[in-house]
Structure 1
Amino acid sequence: MNASRPPSPAPSPDTPDGITDLDAHALSAAIHARQLSCREVMAAYLARIHRLNPALRAIVNLAPDERLLAQADRHDAELAPGHARTGSRGWLHGIPQAIKDAAMAEGFATTVGSPLLAGAVAPHDGLMAARMKAAGAIVIGKTNMPELGLGSHTFNPLFGATPNAWDATVSAGGSSGGAAVALAQRLLPVADGSDFMGSLRNPAAWNHVFGLRPSQGRVPLWPAQELWISQLGTEGPMARSVRDLAALLATQAGPDPRTPLALADGASFALSPAHADPASLRGLRIGWLGDLGGHLALEDGILPACQAALARFESAGAEVQPVRFAVDLDALWQAWLVWRRALVAPRVAALLALRPDARQHIKPEALWEHDQAQGLDAMALLRAGELRSRFHDACLALWRQVDLLALPVTQAWPFALGERWPAQIAGRPMDTYHRWMESTLYATFAGAPAISLPAGFHANGRWPAGLQLIAPPRADARLLQAAAAYETLAAGLLARRPPAPAGPPA
């Protein structure tokens, strides 16, 4: 048992919100001990979803109650003595789960927030959904995301905007915004996300939950149209506790013969009580990148929140020292744009080919990516790859000096729900719709695992911030172990709960 949190209160079938307050491990234990039935758990979550989700729009394409309750009954029967399939499917047995709308789940539409794909019902599960089902999860619906996953702000023409879990007037981030809000507001016990340019880390930071972008290849993607170079994006776990985060990563991770670049190193993500002991941080070396020597535009209050989180590590004996990337960051940004255009443009082109008026139904940011890529050639992509390789070498040099690198997850506080993206940060104009998310590209370009830790709040008390820790490639377990000790140190901060939404967002 993870010692980083006090024991969960005893669940009571008479208090549905008491059931949804349990973390996934406590919920799993109650189901397997037959203290709670899968039907009781499903009914409690559905009641909370029906009460809160109309204002949050975090879960979309929710399956009918009667279908989900029938599935819960079947899961209950499997745990009953004498049943033909007696026993648990896994640690997620009977636990409700909604899959991000970018991934396939059999019988649910995979819309990626596009009206052009509103009827694209998945004929089978994607690999991640299949693994979560094999562990016993019951898929109840999908989680909301920005159209095509572009831009860290969850809104689209199909389902509308998902507001922040802490303040309904501002953005939830994205693209895994629906997942983060559902998690923070106890509509789900754990959640899956995906991360290309912070799509998992940004919403985790802005909604005060944990989010892990795994090492490249750790959580393989299938189906995928291209298996060899489209590895900048990855699926990964989100949770309210590090123990749940580690367990969900273990469920999602592992090789599959259909994914040739998947890691097969047999890594373990199990956490022991010793990992939750702050004493385990003694001697840990953290390299603080800050604002990259002024390269990153940051709103007031972001750096102090992250420094306060680093001070918690220092209080337990970790060593924090300033470091810098030994690369041309402006050139690296241009290389990032090349890779991003090369990978985004084919997805947009596939939508444009669906019907003659498709261009009218695609967001301008996606069209910009597509149009900017039209002059892109193989030599430009290879040159960008060479710069990415030099950056990888520079990161490895830093990891010989320190164990982990640290950066702010976000460069801004959550912005107004009606804005598309921040036009400027700290008076500095943003020259693209995603320049304000630049702090997340470094882990992505290095193929490295990165975790978003809740760091603190804005002075108004409503807007969360996150600290990003980045480990060397394949060192996902190192991040989880550091996070488990941090969870103990930050117990008071992590105990804070978002207010219930008052009504549908404007």
Structure 2
Amino acid sequence: MSATRLIEGFAKAEFTPGELLEACRERISRLNPSINALTSFCTERAIAEASRSTQRWREGAPMGPLDGLPIGVKDLQDAEGLPTTQGNPLFRSNMAKRDAPMVARLRRAGAIVLAKTNVPEFGAGGNTRNPVWGATGNPYDPRLTAGGSSGGSAAALAASLVPLCTGSDTGGSLRLPAAFCGVLGYRPSADVVAHPTRPVGWSVISVLGPMARNMDDLLLMLQTIHGFEAGDPLSSPADPARFDNLSPVSLDQLHICFSEDFGGAPVDRRVRSAFRERVAAIAPHVASCRPVYLDLGEMDRCFDILRAESFVAAFDLTGDGAVEQFGPHVAANVELGRRLSFHDRAWAHLEQTRILRAFNKRMADFDILLLPTAPIPAFPWEQSYPEEIDGQKMDIYYRWLALTYRGSLMGGPAITLPAGTLNDGLPFGLQLLGPLRDDRALLRAARAIEALLARDPAMAPVKPDLTKIVPPPVDLRGIATHPLESSSAGTARPDPVGTAV
């Protein structure tokens, strides 16, 4: 059931939070070993909290809009009493003493933190695997990647292990795994969800956001987590009801532009074909739908520098740290940062401003921009990243994420919606971008397009056939990539996994 339907069931006394928690735990015990979406658990506390929630609902006094809903929290974010390992062995025993602000907001709304969700090491990369917890498989085919860095959250939602999960996004970490797993990932404007742990507090490229299975659930979660925190200079005070009552926009008033490749990024022909089909299905129902060429500037080099800056700030502030303690992806970013100069940094910030202004000009006559989310279908999780797309070699491990990270540069809202499947049965994600700080308009458009796609059997979301998920030949929790292995495709080696909390 959806999160909104579960809350309705509590209110009508059809079932209790305690019963829901037990159902989730049974499902997790049956399916999680095959996909490894959830890592550490807080079972005893969750049972006690579900019991108290059950009593509150019986008394007609829920503590908030999420009272009794079990959730998963991404393993980059602190949840009191659970380890925040970030997928790195040095942090295997890093027990959180308090909740991150977003997690605290969810708890105050009544949500029950049941488990942490898996990530790539330090969230670096679009494939969720690390030397602490191992790899996460895709519920549509556990042999394939669930994407990253919010891959555990996306897989847990697709397999209905929990109804809501947290995520974060720098270059596509919410949107890409949502697309690969047939769920929703929303990257808000940088002022919407406070992010006090962002390494570079004034940089808009890293944000926090919700993940869910439909727009109603996503908005239910967003209404709880948005808001100001003094520790985040980009967050801003806003009306608490900012995202309440967001009705779908009327499609015949919607002006859409679209691009298959965001200004020339490599895109697999199967994805291009599927995207064209979605645009053709949407176009007759909207006021206008026209292609746009997004030659906005040197987007890739700009992102490279801004990303390297944040990694240096987080991992190599003195410039002489040992990169051997990190995996190849983090090390690659740190090494890139060490080669950059103050002039490179100044250029990147100037270029980011120019890119935003160019984007604003392109969007002057449009409400939203449509794009594919992922440039290729999901690939085997043993492969660190796709080394080539449509004949073009990838020069760094995240270059294949250009369809998402180029949009991050503008700092505005973006969302991916499940839009049917590719010919091989894997989910296809449709990405929507809106102007900076126009989150309400983007979300209203997303609601309308979600409803339109649902009416077309060829474009409607398709749930994974969970009856076909069987334990893989190896335990994904025991598959861990060595921190020093090559960043290209290779074999994985086992690594002991600690007892779940």
**TM-score in same-fold range (> 0.5):** yes
- Tell me if the contact between 1:183 and 1:191 (Cα under 8 Å) persists in the aligned partners: yes
CA distance in 2, matches of 1:190, 1:425: 32
Identical-residue share of aligned pairs (%) = 34
Q: 1:412 to 1:88 in 2, by over 3 A?
A: same
Write the letter of the residue equivalent to 2:215: V
CA distance in 2, matches of 1:186, 1:505: 23
- Tell me if the contact between 2:199 and 2:314 (Cα under 8 Å) persists in the aligned partners: no
Shift of 1:181: 0.5
- Tell me if the contact between 1:214 and 1:450 (Cα under 8 Å) persists in the aligned partners: yes
Aligned residues between the structures: 468
1:198 aligns with 2:176: no
Q: 1:319 to 1:505 in 2, by over 3 A?
A: farther
Q: 1:52 to 1:351 in 2, by over 3 A?
A: farther
1:78 aligns with 2:56: yes
Which sections of structure 2, spanning at least 5 residues, go unmatched? 475-501
- Tell me if the contact between 2:255 and 2:289 (Cα under 8 Å) persists in the aligned partners: yes
Query: 2:300 is matched with which residue: 321, 330, 333?
Result: 333
CA distance in 2, matches of 1:351, 1:434: 25
CA distance in 2, matches of 1:201, 1:192: 12
Residue 168 of structure 1: SS of its match in structure 2?
strand
CA distance in 2, matches of 1:456, 1:77: 40
TM-superposition CA deviations, 1:162-181 (whole Å, max 9, x none): 01121112111000000000
Structure 1 match to 2:65 = 91
CA distance in 1, matches of 2:320, 2:95: 19
CA distance in 2, matches of 1:348, 1:228: 17
TM-score (normalizing by structure 1) = 0.88
Query: 2:416 is matched with which residue: 435, 439, 452?
Result: 452
Structure 1 match to 2:260 = 290
- Tell me if the contact between 2:299 and 2:406 (Cα under 8 Å) persists in the aligned partners: no
Write the letter of the residue equivalent to 2:428: A
1:488 aligns with 2:451: yes
Structure-to-structure mapping, 1:148-167, within 5 angstroms: 148-167=122-141
Write the letter of the residue equivalent to 2:346: L
Which sections of structure 1, spanning at least 5 residues, go unmatched? 1-21
TM-superposition CA deviations, 1:29-80 (whole Å, max 9, x none): 111222211110111101101111111110110123x432122111222334
Write the letter of the residue equivalent to 2:367: D
CA distance in 2, matches of 1:249, 1:309: 27
Shift of 1:505: 6.1
Query: 1:380 is matched with which residue: 319, 323, 344?
Result: 344
Structure-to-structure mapping, 1:30-41, within 5 angstroms: 30-41=9-20
Structure 1 match to 2:251 = 281
Structure 2 match to 1:13 = none
Structure 1, 491-500 or 382-391: larger mean CA deviation = 491-500
Query: 1:50 is matched with which residue: 10, 16, 29?
Result: 29
- Tell me if the contact between 2:262 and 2:406 (Cα under 8 Å) persists in the aligned partners: no
Shift of 1:465: 1.8
Structure 1 match to 2:232 = 259
- Tell me if the contact between 1:348 and 1:367 (Cα under 8 Å) persists in the aligned partners: no
Query: 1:299 is matched with which residue: 250, 268, 273?
Result: 268
1:469 aligns with 2:432: yes
Structure-to-structure mapping, 1:420-459, within 5 angstroms: 420-459=384-423
- Tell me if the contact between 1:106 and 1:125 (Cα under 8 Å) persists in the aligned partners: yes
- Tell me if the contact between 1:144 and 1:154 (Cα under 8 Å) persists in the aligned partners: yes
Q: 1:237 to 1:124 in 2, by over 3 A?
A: same
Structure-to-structure mapping, 1:265-414, within 5 angstroms: 265-266=238-239, 268-271=242-245, 275=248, 280-292=250-262, 295-328=264-297, 331-349=298-316, 359-414=323-378
- Tell me if the contact between 2:170 and 2:408 (Cα under 8 Å) persists in the aligned partners: yes
- Tell me if the contact between 1:212 and 1:236 (Cα under 8 Å) persists in the aligned partners: yes
CA distance in 2, matches of 1:256, 1:77: 32
1:236 aligns with 2:204: no
- C-alpha RMSD of the superposition: 2.0
Structure 2 match to 1:498 = 464
CA distance in 1, matches of 2:316, 2:388: 30
CA distance in 1, matches of 2:18, 2:368: 43
Shift of 1:143: 0.3
TM-score (normalizing by structure 2) = 0.89
Shift of 1:482: 1.5
Q: 1:352 to 1:413 in 2, by over 3 A?
A: farther
Residue 211 of structure 1: SS of its match in structure 2?
strand
